[in-house]
Structure 1
Amino acid sequence: MPYLSRVWLNPLRTGAQALLRNPEKMHAAVLGGIARQPITERVLWRLDTHAHRPELLVLTDSRPSWEHIVEQAGWPNAEDPQALVRDYQPLLDRIQTGREFGFRLRANPVAATRNPASPSAQQKEKLTAPRPRGVRVAHRTAAHQLDWLTSRIDKWGFTPLTSPDDLADTVPMVRLSARERLVFFKHARDADTPARRVVLSVATFEGALRVTDPELARHTLLAGVGAAKAYGCGLLTLAPLTSDSGG
């Protein structure tokens, strides 16, 4: 049974600051909340960065426990609950053809190519291998990132709602609410191997959509979309549709 958790972080605490700065550390903290070991389930998470109280959203197959994050990075002695865990099945049951929702998605829009303009050392190694495969190249402009979403959303079991523009045409009700470049170091399991620098172009999308294929839409919600899922990308969330769309 899937569960959606919401954990609040205290940005004034050193433990929270370390998690907020480094997606690898946040990923490790998220996995620390899963009791079933070894971890074989898909775990998706997203950080919604509000100024005073950042929110960590996590989607898991098994019921998690977040006491360690609250103790390290939250308000452990506060009166209000600092972590909420909800059954995700009621939302999945509402996914029916024609239903409309507001959505939010934090993603790493990329494309595969065998001819990158400025390949990194790691990409050069892959491209010169005996059986070369395409490498991922990030979409860095707002226009390309929006096109990445609108060209794929139909394959996820949804279609964006549209609104008329000034030319009496229609445009998708999708917007970029945030864009950022994440740079951090991923440490290898082998202590003798140097840490690898990771650079991600991340975009947060918000808008309104309609369900076109319920089975495919449920799969999208549970499996996530795009690359860099371990680093807080790919979790698509839905909410009741309002004039201020968001998930």
Structure 2
Amino acid sequence: MSLWLTRIIPDQRSREARRDGTNAVDLHHRLMALFPDHVTTTAARQDLGVLFRTEATADSGHQILLQSSVQPDLTRLPSGYGHGTTKSLAPLLTAMRPGLAVRYRIAANPIRKPGHTTRELYNLSPVVPLRGAAADDWWTRQAGTAGLQLTALRSEPLDAARGTRRSDQHRIKHDRVLFEGTARITDPVLLRTRLTAGIGKGKAYGCGLLSLAPHRDDQ
């Protein structure tokens, strides 16, 4: 299994970089353009294993994390857009074993879909975003089915991923929550699969990228 992690630091003097920072659909298209032109299927994102997350950092201010099963071509970024680096995640995948302690971070779209009767009774939308303890419970369940046993959990709401799809002008909105903390690996095979596929909804628009790093109990 090949997996790559690319870190892009956008230059805020670039109009294209600033626009992508506020529009999850535009950023999706920008990142997909870093891959071979011959990948044109409707499932191109899944075929390439593309997941991404935007986040603030103490040193650079803003960064884009892009994970993919094919190494991206950063020369395809527009002139002046910013700079980036790519590394293989092979060492992380190889190191995974039952009982290994890890740090994790994921910006996910925790939701529930009430049944028709419940929606009518409480006047609910077909998709209900989760917050607080309900969101934490959602992530705990997702982590368990991904081969992780959580040992610490912190969460905070993020701005929603928003944009307008080019194909049909449909406006998308995915509420996001940042989950981070520590865990122990229970099933490395399952974890590698979920790490590659992403977790939850909104994976095309900046949700579902699970980041892991080894963790010592004394850290």
Name the TM tier (shorter chain).
Answer: 0.7 to 0.9
1:51-74: CA deviation from partner (whole Å, max 9, x where unpaired): 743111111111111223362521
Q: What residue number does 1:212 align with?
A: 186
Give 1 or 2 for the bigger CA radius of gyration.
1
1:44 partner letter = L
Aligned equivalent of 2:138: 148
Deviation at 1:144, TM superposition (A): 1.6
- Within-5 A mapping of 1:149-188: 149-161=139-151, 173-188=152-167
**2:127 aligns to what?**
136
Query: In the alignment, is the contact (CA less than 8 A) between 1:10 and 1:53 conserved in 2?
Result: no
- Cα deviation, 1:194-237, whole Å, max 9, x if unaligned, reads x2222221111110010001100111111110000000110101
Q: Please state whether the residue corresponding to 1:147 is helix, strand or coil.
A: helix
* Pair 1:67 & 2:75 matched: yes
What does the per-residue CA deviation read over 1:166-211, in whole Å, with 9 as the maximum and x for residues that have no partner? xxxxxxx1001442234432222xxxx5x22222211111100100
Hey, what's the Cα distance between the residues in 1 that align with 2:127 and 2:157? Answer: 21
CA root-mean-square deviation: 2.1
Q: Which moved more, 1:2-11 or 1:100-109?
A: 2-11
Q: Deviations over 1:93-125 (max 9, x none)?
A: 011000011110010111122333343xxxxxx
Distance 1:72 1:196 in 2: 30
Partner of 2:53: 46
| Residue of structure 2 equivalent to 1:7 | 8
Unpaired segments of 5 or more residues in structure 1? 75-81, 120-134, 162-172
> Equivalents in 2 of 1:242, 1:7: separation in Å?
28
Aligned residues of 1:107 and 1:227 also touching (Cα < 8 A): yes
Secondary structure in structure 2 of the residue aligned to 1:11: coil
Point out the more displaced range, 214-223 or 59-68: 59-68
Counterpart of 1:222 (choices 182, 196, 201) is 196
Aligned AA (2:90): Q
Matches of 2:194 and 2:129 in 1, distance apart?
21
Residue segments in structure 2 that go unaligned for 5+ positions in a row = none
1:18 aligns with 2:9: no
- Does residue 1:89 correspond to 2:97, yes or no? no
Contact kept in structure 2, 1:107 and 1:233, CA below 8 Å: yes
Tell me, yes or no, if the aligned pair for 1:107 and 1:225 is still in contact at 8 Å: yes
Percentage identity across aligned positions? Answer: 26
Size of the aligned set, in residue pairs, is 206
Instruction: Normalising by structure 2, report the TM-score.
Output: 0.85
> Per-residue deviation at 1:36?
5.7
CA distance in 1, matches of 2:214, 2:87: 16
Distance 1:244 1:65 in 2: 39
Structure 2: which amino acid aligns with 1:159?
Q
